[in-house]
Amino acid sequence: MDFGTRSGRRLRASVLALLLGCGLSGQVRAAPFDDPHVGGLTFSGPTSGTLGAVYWNPAALGLIRGNQLMIAGTVRAVRTTVHRAPINGATGAPGGDTSPGDASASDVIQPIQYPLGPGGFAGISTDLGGDRFTLAFATYEPYSETVHFPTSATGDEPTRYHRLSADFRNLALVPALSIRVSGDLHIGVAPGFLFSTGRLFFAERIPGAAMGGAAESPASDARYDINSGQGIGDAKFSVTLGGGLYYRRRNFEFGLAYSSRPFGGDIAGVQVAGTRTSVTAPGGAPVVCRPPPVDPEAPGAAASQSTGCVFGSMAYRLPDTFIGGITWHLRHGLEITAIVRWMRFHAMERLDIRLTGTALEAAGLPQHIVLHQGFQDAWDTRLRVSYWLKERLHIGAVLRVETSAVDPSDVSPAAVDGLKFEPILLAEVNLGKHFSVGAGYGVTVMRDVNASPSRFDPQAAAACMTTTGGKPAGDLANPGCIARNQGLARPTAEGTYGRFVQDFGLSMTARF
């Protein structure tokens, strides 16, 4: 097909319209857990010859000549606001004259830490002295979540039943290989090694505890702080598999890539081992082990104390990801790139928490907790226009939109989504033949989300213990028990949610 003919122009216009239409149709929202800027705020993509191609399309690594080293980092400033709707003070159901209150979380997420933090990217590549093979290695965090809502001395935080704080990280170590099959056709493979850590802090209502006459009384709350630590030695291990195709024809470049969900671990998905877990029972007393028998003759016997004795484990799934892109070189130095990512988040139905410790059972505290996620597939679409000024300065502008990974009825302090548009400005300067520096800035504008009605049902746990809908108490077919097993038997999340995000990026590339 000759893209310069009239029919060719119609075809390329149709393809670009299709790519943009996938992202602009329906409600547009942002996916939780996902880093939309793997490789930094740079000119990376499925048709771009940068080290970011390890993630975006390993086949495009074949465009890199010589040896390269790239380091990039994105600092993200996030403000999340929660305004919960009034509830019935006795039942916890939406509607009434009791206000649970408002909360906001201001988080600055930066990559300069060990191991490499969220928003960081480091990679190295070589063409092995020819144009047939390109080998690369990169490390980055494709999936992470960080939020810290303020805590209260009285324990009445409005977000406590869904999130007080969370810090989930998935560090990827990825070798990649691109092979030129013939002409301008390249294929690529990128097996990945994923190291997962996390910390989650939330409150759990305990049946039978002192309620204080209120449905959401802090006196009835236990507090769970499940913590693995954030070091490599604290992580659980899984693997991923990625691959891609790259092809160029005249003034068009095409790229397709796939990255699998994690597999190969102890479970189907990602596991976090909370070896540093602690639990506080209603009333504020920490759950501790019984101390070992004390020999009164032993030195220091009088100083013997109880120690923590709870181990926690968290399990959740991550999506398969498909990426496609087209770059159109209009004339020398000027190009338009359209990119689409399809993230199959529907596998992330729930966060499963299991705890062990005899002291938990003795204190009447649950050892299996399910937190609802209820994600759905998301589409991320972006359009980039860029221009080279005398091959020294590369400038660009991007518009990114993303479809919802969470239905409004599933929105909670644990997953705040809303209509998002992210305009981004990019620049890269070649400081001589062997070194370049890039920078980028993006601001995400989000329409507030009204989570009404909310799927979370504060009365479902009690309904599970009574005959409901003809199903006996405790029966797995009991509607209340079904809600509990899905993580929906929690205080309502009905209310209004907002988020404002700013991204600041810096990258450096050395060629040698």
- The pLDDT tens digits of the residues spanning 44-61 come to 999 999 999 999 999 999
Alpha-carbon distance of 271 to 262, in angstroms, equals 10
Place of tokens 């920490």: 286
What is the residue whose two structure tokens read 């009991």?
478
- The overall average pLDDT reported for the chain is 88
**pLDDT class of 119 with cuts at 50, 70, 90:** very high
Q: Positive or negative CA dihedral for 262, 266, 268, 270?
A: negative
Identify the pLDDT of residue 31.
Answer: 56
pLDDT at 288: 78
pLDDT for the residue 238: 95
Contact 318, 377 (CB under 8 A): no
Query: What is the longest distance spanned by two Cα atoms in the chain?
Result: 97
Confidence (pLDDT) at 17? 40
Give the pLDDT confidence score for residue 362 in this predicted structure. 83
- Is the model's pLDDT at 247 over the cut of 80? yes
- Mean pLDDT lowest among 27-36, 116-125, 291-300: 291-300
- Per-residue model confidence (pLDDT) at position 1: 40
Tokens 């499940």 appear where? 226
C-alpha atoms less than 13 angstroms from C-alpha of 53 in its C-beta half-sphere: 33
Could you give the CA distance from residue 43 to residue 27 in angstroms, rounded to a whole number? Answer: 27
What pLDDT is recorded for position 357?
A: 85
d(CA 304, CA 308): 13
- Of 226, 92, 227, nearest to 158 by C-alpha is 92
Q: Give the Cα separation of 507 and 138 in Å (integer).
A: 14
Residue 114 predicted with pLDDT over 80: yes
Kindly report the length of the chain: 512
The number of angstroms, rounded, from the C-alpha of 481 to the middle of its chain's C-alpha atoms is 29
What residues form DSSP beta bridges with 7? none
Q: Reduced to 3 states, what is the DSSP secondary structure of residue 481?
A: helix
Q: Mean pLDDT, to the nearest integer, of 223-250?
A: 96
pLDDT at 22: 38
pLDDT for position 267:
80
C-alpha–C-alpha distance, residues 260 and 269, integer Å: 11
pLDDT band at 26 (very low <50, low <70, confident <90, very high): very low
pTM: 0.88
Q: What residue type is 43 in one-letter code?
A: F
Confidence of residue 4 (pLDDT cuts 50, 70, 90): very low
Classify the C-alpha dihedral 348-161-236-355 as positive or negative: negative
What's residue 32's pLDDT?
A: 74
Dihedral (CA of 233, 138, 175, 253) sign: positive
CATH number, domain 6-209+217-291+307-456+491-511:
2.40.160.60
pLDDT value at 389 more than 70: yes
Query: In the predicted model, is pLDDT for residue 403 greater than 90?
Result: no
With bands split at pLDDT 50, 70 and 90, how would you rate the model's confidence at 41?
Answer: very high
Listed in sequence order, the residues at least 6 apart from 233 whose beta carbon sits closer than 8 Å to its beta carbon are none
pLDDT at res. 33: 86
Q: What angle do CA 480, 482, 485 make, to 5 degrees?
A: 110
Please choose, from the candidates 417, 322, 402, 447, the residue with its C-alpha nearest in 3D space to the C-alpha of residue 22. Answer: 402
pLDDT tens digits, 164-214: 999 999 999 999 999 999 999 999 999 999 999 999 999 999 876 655 557
pLDDT of 12 above 80: no
Q: Is the link from the previous residue into 408 a cis peptide, with omega within 30 of 0?
A: no
Q: Give the range among 247-251, 340-344, 352-356, 467-471 with minimum mean pLDDT.
A: 467-471
Nearest C-alpha neighbor of 166 from the set 205, 111, 118: 118
Candidate from 205-219, 273-287, 356-370, 471-485 with smallest mean pLDDT: 205-219
- In percent, how much of the chain has pLDDT > 70? 88
Looking at the predicted structure, is the pLDDT value of residue 221 above 50?
yes
Q: Are 489 and 464 in contact (CB under 8 A)?
A: yes
Closest by CA position to 381, among listed 439, 334, 425, 421 = 421
pLDDT tier at 466 (50, 70, 90 boundaries)?
Answer: confident
pLDDT over 80 (residue 219)? yes
pLDDT bracket for residue 308 (50, 70, 90)? low
CA count, 13 A, side-chain hemisphere, 362: 10
Annotated domain spans of the chain: 6-209+217-291+307-456+491-511
Which residue's structure tokens are 């769970």? Answer: 224
Q: State the pLDDT confidence band at 306, using cuts at 50, 70 and 90.
A: very low
**What token pair was written down for 218?**
């802090």
> In the predicted model, is pLDDT for residue 474 greater than 80?
no
CA distances from 57 to 30, 186, 189, 309, 499 (A): 22, 10, 9, 46, 30
Provide the token pair at 323.
Answer: 């990426």
Confidence at residue 471, expressed as pLDDT on a 0 to 100 scale: 74
Q: Which residues pair with 426 in a beta bridge?
A: 396, 440
84-88, 333-337, 360-364: which has the minimum mean pLDDT?
A: 360-364
| Rounded mean pLDDT, 303-321 | 78
pLDDT above 90 covers a percentage of the chain that reads 71
